[in-house]
A and B are shown apart, each in its own frame.
Chain A
Amino acid sequence: MTREWNDLAQGRSRRLARAAGFAQARQVRAEDAVALLEAVIEPGDRVCLEGNNQKQADFLAQCLAQADPQRLHDLHMVQSVLSLPAHLDVFERGIARRLDFSFSGPQATRLAGLVAENRIEIGAIHTYLELFGRYFVDLTPRVALVTAQAADRDGNLYTGPNTEDTPVIVEATAFRSGIVIAQVNEIVERLPRVDIPAGWVDFVIAAPRPNHIEPLFTRDPAQISEIQVLMAMLAIKGIYAEYGVDRLNHGIGFDTAAIELLLPTYAESLGLKGKICRHWALNPHPALIPAIESGFVQSVHSFGSELGMERYVAARSDVFFTGADGSMRSNRALSQTAGLYACDLFIGSTLQIDLQGNSSTATRDRIAGFGGAPNMGSDARGRRHASAAWLKAGAEAARPGEMPRGRKLVVQMVETFREHMAPAFVDRLDAWELAERAKLPLPPVMIYGDDVSHVLTEEGIANLLLCRTAEEREQAIRGVAGYTAVGLQRDRRMVENLRDRGVIRRPDDLGIRTRDASRDLLAARTVKDLVRWSGGLYDPPKRFRHW
């Protein structure tokens, strides 16, 4: 018997034939969307419902959740972010059964509940790059439900500034005989530019309302504390200046926003302009505007965009990646690659750090996933090109007789206590308990201790590269853990010895006076200040307008 070699293509033809009645030249009316999904998707299919960090195929998500579970069931969802209630409704209604994903931020608690009730089978929790990688190996979507700003009559798509995951999803699906369905905000005669060619798109639906986009990366400078200013001073003087960090990625949060806002003031006063922080893999953080305007920043490539930054980005095409039409083009897969291989430093906050330096944002009742931090925050062992910062970090970590190599700087930045006196330093991560409860194969560690180069708190900087034994490493971490139980149990003599060797550096050791940590150092102290710095180009979302 001879084997057919085109089952996938035949499956595609079958699906397209069933859908033929709904489409006119690829266009499907919004009221037929549920019926289209029921016609095209088959039980057991792998389906990617485009859920990004920011923009959401929210109309298609709601349509899928409204499908008849008699017709659509046992779907295997493969999507990077679960952020909308509808993303979990499909499991609650019995339409989907299995899930492979990266991040579930706002739905983390509900996800943990559904897993505990055996309503969701988790395949694996990935980083973005891993999931995108698996789209091309063993998790290729059969049907992809994506979203774009606009389509033309041929089906070409314009994603606008928030391109995010769309190219990687569509490429994997379209080139393996899958079906691509796009919801768009509008259908126009002529697109500003083509982000996804029509030949890769099967159906286009003009959604009844614009897709949802979340302003995830906006931090109001008014909420930055003096302690965060102090920690930002430590980062700039103790790490950025020390290593000459010129290519970097910042995690999300107020700690790193404080660093961004100290570049035009504190860093400039140290003579660091032109020497640090010129090239970034970063979303267009509004907090970066003052550093850009004062000439610190040369280039920024972004995973996605940020609401309100559109006009500013378009007007700064020397800095941001923009199309010939002037608007930004982002790309999560490529920016993650840039963060992993082309950056010398990642710095970010976390919830808990243990005595080996492992860090986790997991708590026992939430399955939040990983997103991109593990890739940003890891030493890229496949990296071969050298830079001054990478070589210096590598030299510090080198053991006698070993082949010389470089190291990425991976900095965990935390205040020793979070709100409500929750200690950031613990003997045992909550991740262990979550792994047990949710039957995960491993405790979900965001950044492994052996990838962390520095732990930075208001107490100072622990340079883990310089630690020679596990015990030194533990005492270095205890030494910056302040008045947490873990910190109070430090061996004072050993910690003083580590300080003498420069493994631990206190603010005093760096010539930083704690009481100089004033909010006056922030280049912008309010969102309105950011608007002023941008010359009125930054248009903050309503929730950030307090004037």
Chain B
Amino acid sequence: METLRFRFDGRQALPAGEHHALVGVVASGNLEVLLERLPLDGAMEIHIVTAARGFGEIWQAVLGDFAARHPLRDLRISINDVGATPAVVSLRLSQALEALQESAP
């Protein structure tokens, strides 16, 4: 197990929607992503627990690109990873973001 933390300064406020969103599953080659709206001094904080050690640089690159595409303020992202590829990580992040922005019925 390895734990990684990243923090990016945000520039955009999150559009209205749910308070939190959970997508994905904890299964081999997959991951679970939890997004929560929290007051974080305008930052996006990402907390990762991963089964695959030694891929910090790739996480940094994947999440850096995500933060550049979506420089969001006051968002916490918690990830439970079981060896997902970067493609799956990016897909889950964008699915989670979409779910968070869905307006409540």
A residues engaging B (CB < 8 A)? 225-227, 230, 415-417, 419-421, 458-459, 482-483, 488, 514-515, 517
Contacts and interface: CB of A to CB of B under 8 A. Distances in A.
Contact of A420 (B83, B91, B98): B83
Nearest to A418: B85
Contacts of A416: 85-87
B85 A227 contact: yes
B90 A514 contact: yes
Contact of B91 (A230, A482, A488): A230
Contacts of B88: 225-227
Nearest to A226: B91
Nearest to A482: B86
12 contacts: A230-B87, A415-B85, A415-B87, A416-B85, A417-B85, A421-B52, A459-B87, A482-B86, A483-B58, A514-B91, A514-B94, A515-B98
B4 interface: no
B39 interface: no
B25 to A, nearest CB: 12
B63 to A, nearest CB: 11
Nearest to B30: A225
A515 B94 contact: yes
Contacts, number: 42
Given A415-B87, A417-B87, A488 B98 contact: no
Interface in B15-37: 29
Contact of A419 (B29, B61, B62, B94): B29
B78 interface: no
B55 interface: yes
Contacts of B62: 483
Interface residues of B, number: 16
A225 B29 CA distance: 10
Contact of A417 (B61, B86, B91, B95): B86
A458 B87 CA distance: 7
A421 B55 CA distance: 9
Query: Residue among B85, B86, B94 with the most chain A CB within 10 A?
Result: B85
A180 B75 CA distance: 74
Given A227-B88, A419-B29, A420-B83, A483 B98 contact: no
B94 A483 contact: no
Given A415-B85, A421-B55, A458-B87, 18 more contacts: A226-B88, A227-B88, A415-B87, A416-B85, A417-B86, A419-B29, A420-B83, A421-B52, A421-B58, A421-B83, A421-B85, A459-B87, A482-B86, A482-B87, A483-B58, A514-B90, A514-B91, A517-B91
B44 to A, nearest CB: 19
A225 B24 CA distance: 12
A306 to B, nearest CB: 27
Nearest to A458: B87
Contacts of A419: 29
